[in-house]
Chains A and B, each alone.
Chain A
C-alpha cells in the first residue's frame, strides 16, 4: 500500500459525484454521532431522574407536598410530568364535579397527553439515527457504483486492462461504501440501544401512570364514600 493508495489520497482523487456522496455520508455520520451522544446523555439523565422520583414518590411523602415542592413554571419531565399533569387535573376537577368517574377520566386523559409528550421527547431524533442507519449504506453504494461506472468508462479508452489500472478506481469507489458503513453501523447499534432504553422508560412511565391512577381512584373511592356517607 503506497502513498497513492492511502485513504485521504483516494478521497481527494475521487470524482465529484463520489466526493459529494462522501461529504453527505460524513455529514450523516457526524449528525448520527451528535444524536447518539445527545440521546445517551438525555436518556441517562431521564433514567436517573425516574429513579429519584420513584424513590421520592414511594417514600410515603404527601402528594400535595410533592406537587407543591417544585415551582409551578418548571417544565417537569418523565414520570414527574405525568404525575403533575394528573394531579393538576385532579385538583382542578375535584371542586367542579362530584362524579369520581369524570374526575378519573379527566386525570387519565391528561396523563395520556403527558405520556405521549414524554414519548415524543424520549424518541426525539432517534428517527434520524434510524434514517442514517438504513440509508447511508445505500448512499455509499451509490457512490461506489458511480465510481466503478466512471472507472469502466475510462477503462474503455485503455487498450490493456490490468488489475493495476482498475485497482485505484475501485479502491476509490469502495471508500464511499466504507464510509456509508462507517456511518450506518454505529447508527444501527445505538438506535437499537437507545430506542430500547426509551421504550423501557416509557413503560415505566406508563406503569407509574397506572399506579398513580389507581392511587387516585382509591383516594376518590374513599372520598366519594365519605362524601356519600
Chain B
C-alpha cells in the first residue's frame, strides 16, 4: 500500500490535464459550427428593398419623372411635327393640285362665261345690225341701189361678223391655250418647288435623325463599362416605368449582399420581426444616416439592422452610376426580416 502511494507520479496527471484542455478547446470549437450557419446563411436573412422613393424626395422624383416624360414627349412631338410637316406638305401639294384644278375649272368656266357673254353681245350686235339692216332694207326697198348696197353691206357685215367671230374664237382659243400653258407651267413650277421643299425637308429630317442616332451611339459608347450599360438599359426600363424595381437591381443587390454579410442577427430574433431602415448616402457612397423608419418592436433587432448597414458602408459602387441614378439611390429604404428558421 505504501509503495503505491509513493508512486503517484506526474505521467497520468499530465495526460489528464492536457485532456481537459483539449476537451475545453473542442467545446469552444464545437459551438461554432452550430452557431455559424444561422447568421451566415443569407437565404435566411431577407433584406429587401421596399421602395427607393421616400416621402421627402417624392416631389423631386415626380419632377424628374415629369421632366423625363416631357423630354420624351418633346421628342415625340418633334417627330410628330416632322411627320405632320411631311403630311402638311403632301396636303399642301394636294391642295395646290386641287386649287389648280379648281383654278382650271374656274378658268374654264370663266372662259365659257366670257364666250357666252361675247356670243350674246355678238348676237345682240347681230340683232341690232339685223334691225338696222331691216331698216336699211326698208330704205333700200325704197332705193334698190341702196338695197344692194345694204345687201352688200349686209354681206360685208356678215362677213365681218364671221370674220370677227372667227377672230374672236381664234383669240379665245389662243387665250385659253395660253392660260392653260401658263397654268401648267405654274403648276409644274409649284410641283417642282413642293418637291424640292419636301426633298429638302426629308434630307433635313434624315440628317437630323442620323445626327440623333449618331449622338445616341456616341453616348452609348461613352458609357463603356458594363454597369453603365446595364444602367442605360435600366434607364430605358425606368422610362417604361413598369419595371423600376428591376432597374434598381444591380446596385441594390450589391447593397443587399453587403448588408446581409454584415448582419448579425441577435439571438432572440424570431421570424415575425420586420424592420425598415432608411439609408441615406453621400455622393461618394458614404453613409450619412441609417435610421429605423419602422421599428420591429425589438430594439436589439432594430439595432442589428442599422449596425449591418453601418458595417456594410460605404457603398463605393454608387460613384459608378449615372448622375440621375445616383440621386435616386442616395436615399432608399431597406426592409429587414429574419427567415423562418429562427
Contacts and interface: CB of A to CB of B under 8 A. Distances in A.
B1 A41 contact: no
Contact of B29 (A8, A35, A80): A8
A70 B24 CA distance: 45
Contacts of A35: 13
B35 A1 contact: yes
B311 A162 contact: yes
Interface residues of A, number: 35
B39 A34 contact: no
A163 interface: yes
B147 interface: no
B39 A41 contact: no
Contacts of B3: 74
Interface string A39-59: 001100110110010000000
Given A6-B32, A34-B10, A76 B2 contact: yes
A77 B5 contact: yes
A77 B36 CA distance: 54
A30 B36 contact: no
Interface residues of B, number: 30
A126 to B, nearest CB: 14
Interface string A1-24: 111001110000000000000000
Interface of A is mostly: helix
Contacts, number: 81
A76 B1 CA distance: 10
B5 A46 contact: yes
Contacts of A163: 307
B2 A74 contact: yes
A36 B8 contact: no
A26 B22 CA distance: 11
Contact of B8 (A30, A45, A78): A45
B36 A164 contact: no
Contacts of A74: 2-3
Contacts of A182: 24
Interface of A: 1-3, 6-8, 26, 29-38, 41-42, 45-46, 48-49, 52, 70, 74-78, 80, 162-164, 182
B18 interface: yes
Contacts of A78: 5
Contacts of A76: 2
Contacts of B29: 6-8
B24 A77 contact: no
19 contacts: A1-B32, A7-B28, A26-B21, A32-B17, A36-B13, A37-B12, A37-B13, A37-B16, A38-B8, A38-B13, A45-B4, A45-B5, A45-B8, A52-B1, A77-B2, A78-B5, A162-B307, A162-B310, A162-B311
B262 A164 contact: yes
A70 B8 contact: no
